[in-house]
Amino acid sequence: MAGAHEAFAGIGRIKYEGPAAKSMLAFRHYDADAVVEGKPMKDHLRFAVSYWHAFRGTGADPFGPGTMLRPWENEADPLKMAVKRVDVAFEFLEKLGVGFYCFHDRDVAPEGATLAESNKNLDVVVDALEKHQQRTGIKLLWGTANLFSSPRYVHGAATSPNVESFAYAAAQVKKAIEVTQRLGGAGYTFWGGREGYQCLWNTDMKRETDHLAKFMHMAVDYAKEIGFKGQFYFEPKPREPMKHQYDFDAATCINFLRTYGLEKHVKMNLETNHATLAGHEIQHELEYAGMQGFLGSVDANTGDTLVGWDTDQFPTNVYMTTQMMYSILKYGGLAPGGINFDAKVRRESFEPVDLFHAHIGGMDTFARGLKIAAAMRADGAIQKLVEERYASWSGPLGKRIEAGTESFKSLEAEMLKKGESAACTSGRQELFENVINTYL
Ligand code: XLS
Ligand code: NI
Ligand code: NI
């Protein structure tokens, strides 16, 4: 640990103390080594902290500047500060007891005056990250590049009408993949940033989408060339900052990947608040990606039901994490992906200790969801009710249709003979919901 120069002095390693714990700086449900469905919790959940929110979030909003009290942010030279910040970040990760973190290139290192200078800055910080990874065993879940903050990306990066914005973004992603590889990153994420449009009149949507695919193919080719084995992810988000983003939701992204021959290389990184912006529950997104074989990783957060943008709050709703973990277990888990807290403390929660409360709450909420989902699966009551609902499909007619041996003609003959279909049975939604509540 950081010893004399601790940033989070007075806070020790967060321990599992069980549901009766007295301290609020303890886990009540997340017991890293406790075995669920044959695997330790930490391997099911693979928690990661987002470098951008936890260590670069200032609390600024459109109405006012940052509010966060971060006493360690006291170095005038941005590169020196970046290196010092790595010590703080790893002190936090270690005390929290997570196995992973995620970053954008520009979160960890400052942009320089030229591309070469930015790359050099990044190398300096990556040296520091690498040392701390080796010291602690904490790993990089995925890396990514910030292709949305700089004015050069005002119209997007891979989908920009300016070809040199595309070229610069390509150079940036090349470097980001290299450092992700160097740090042993388990994955690399594409989030669209500004890849979308504000107005269709000035937009050639076909050309922009073709360019986005070209860009991803170049990334896949380069990964192959250098032997980067990490999983690529595409992260859906329907809007914000653009009015429409091309990576709208899981179904749209999967269609894009299949259209352009990327389906073997890229999976989904699904974020709760992005799902709600798309008019879906995260359960829908997980189920959709899971059934299509594209379930990759999760960006964990939650929105506010009364606020219509990406509020990126920490998840505290056990019902929701139960839904999520039920789908995740059903489709065989997330590894090499994980659960990355793409979430930020509120502007009003400006003390360093709030970072702990936020992450502890999120981790416990997912651990509870995992335990409840596993209990539901062990018991099988929900699965049995679903099977009953589809029982007619297990009869001879259903089996023949599913096997592909029936046709419109043969089915017409069958129904002409019967005159009317068999009566439908109740959907029993309320029963399902009551049964689920018995586990909570
Ligand atoms: C923004 C996205 C972003 C990605 C990484 O809304 O969630 O944080 O996860 O670029
Ligand atoms: Ni995200
Ligand atoms: Ni987001």
The one catalytic residue in 31, 105, 107, 310 is 107
Checking if the pLDDT of 258 tops 80, the result is: yes
Q: Which of 379, 407, 429 is the last residue of a domain?
A: 379
* Ligand 1 neighbour 356 (Cβ under 6 A): no
Q: What percent of the chain has pLDDT over 70?
A: 99
CA distance 53 to 129: 17
Residue 205 lies in a domain: yes
Q: Which of 337, 356, 379 is the last residue of a domain?
A: 379
* Ligand 1 neighbour 235 (Cβ under 6 A): yes
Reported pTM = 0.97
Ligand (nearest to CA of 53): 1
pLDDT for 5: 82
| Domain with 395 in it | 382-437
Q: How confident is the model at residue 4 (pLDDT cuts 50, 70, 90)?
A: low
Checking if the pLDDT of 12 tops 50, the result is: yes
- Give the chain's mean pLDDT: 97
Residues 142 and 42 in one domain: yes
CB atoms within 10 A of CB 240: 14
Q: Give, using CA atoms, the residue closest to atom 8 of ligand 1.
A: 342
396 CA from centroid of ligand 2 (Å): 46
Give residue-wise pLDDT tens across range 84-131: 999 999 999 999 999 999 999 999 999 999 999 999 999 999 999 999
Residues 337 and 402 in one domain: no
For 296-325, what is the mean pLDDT?
Answer: 96
Give residue-wise pLDDT tens across range 200-252: 999 999 999 999 999 999 999 999 999 999 999 999 999 999 999 999 999 99
Q: How confident is the model at residue 2 (pLDDT cuts 50, 70, 90)?
A: very low
191 CA from centroid of ligand 1 (Å): 6
Residues 78 and 224 in one domain: yes
Task: Report the nearest atom of ligand 1 relative to the CA of 191.
Answer: 10
Select from 113, 122, 141 the least CA-distant residue to 339.
141
Q: How confident is the model at residue 327 (pLDDT cuts 50, 70, 90)?
A: very high
Residues 234 and 311 in one domain: yes
Residue 98's φ and ψ, nearest 5 degrees, are: -95, 155
Q: Give, using CA atoms, the residue closest to atom 10 of ligand 1.
A: 191
Residue 398 lies in a domain: yes
Residue 391 lies in a domain: yes
Residues 287 and 401 in one domain: no
343 CA from centroid of ligand 2 (Å): 8
For 262-272, what is the mean pLDDT?
Answer: 98
Give residue-wise pLDDT tens across range 30-85: 999 999 999 999 999 999 999 999 999 999 999 999 999 999 999 999 999 999 99
- Show the 3-state SS of the chain: CCHHHCCCCCCCCCCECCCCCCCCCCECCCCCCCEECCEEHHHHHCEEEEHHHHHHCCCCECCECCCCCCCCCCCCCHHHHHHHHHHHHHHHHHHHCCCEEEEEHHHHCCCCCCHHHHHHHHHHHHHHHHHHHHHHCCEEEEEECCCCCCHHHECECCCCCCHHHHHHHHHHHHHHHHHHHHCCCCEEEEECCCCEECCCCCCCHHHHHHHHHHHHHHHHHHHHHHCCCCEEEEECCCCCCCCEECCCCHHHHHHHHHHCCCCCCEEEEEEHHHHHHCCCCHHHHHHHHHHHCCEEEEEECECCCCCCCCCCECCCCHHHHHHHHHHHHHCCCCCCCCEEECCCCCCCCCCHHHHHHHHHHHHHHHHHHHHHHHHHHHHCHHHHHHHHHCHHHHCHHHHHHHHCCCCHHHHHHHHHHHCCCCCCCCCCHHHHHHHHHHHC
* Ligand 1 neighbour 31 (Cβ under 6 A): no
* Ligand 1 neighbour 364 (Cβ under 6 A): no
Residue 193 lies in a domain: yes
* Ligand 1 neighbour 310 (Cβ under 6 A): yes
Q: In a mutational test of the pocket of ligand 1, which residue from 153, 299, 312 has the highest number of ligand atoms less than 8 Å from its CB?
A: 299
Is 104 known to be catalytic? yes
Q: How far is CA 322 from the centre of its chain?
A: 17
Residue 98 lies in a domain: yes
Residue 339 lies in a domain: yes
The one catalytic residue in 104, 211, 274, 284 is 104
CA distance 126 to 132: 10
Bridge partners for 302 per DSSP = 313
Residues 293 and 249 in one domain: yes
* Ligand 1 neighbour 271 (Cβ under 6 A): yes
Residues 135 and 237 in one domain: yes
Ligand (nearest to CA of 300): 2
Task: Report the nearest atom of ligand 1 relative to the CA of 102.
Answer: 5
Contact 231, 268 (CB under 8 A): no
Protein residues placing their CB within 5 Å of the ion ligand 3:
310
Residues 202 and 303 in one domain: yes
Contact 345, 312 (CB under 8 A): no
Instruction: Give the residue, 5 or 292, on which the prediction is more confident.
Output: 292
State the total domains in the chain: 2
CA distance 230 to 255: 22
Contact 297, 340 (CB under 8 A): yes
Query: Which CATH number does the domain housing residue 307 bear?
Result: 3.20.20.150
Q: Give, using CA atoms, the residue closest to atom 2 of ligand 1.
A: 191
Residue 270's φ and ψ, nearest 5 degrees, are: -100, 130
Residue 10 lies in a domain: no
Residues 140 and 265 in one domain: yes
Residue 5 lies in a domain: no
60 CA from centroid of ligand 3 (Å): 16
Contact 267, 232 (CB under 8 A): yes
Is 204 known to be catalytic? no
For 200, the token pair is 């269709």
312 CA from centroid of ligand 2 (Å): 9
Q: How confident is the model at residue 308 (pLDDT cuts 50, 70, 90)?
A: confident
Residues 106 and 67 in one domain: yes
Residues 282 and 404 in one domain: no
Task: Report the nearest atom of ligand 1 relative to the CA of 299.
Answer: 9
Contact 125, 167 (CB under 8 A): no
Residues 211 and 110 in one domain: yes
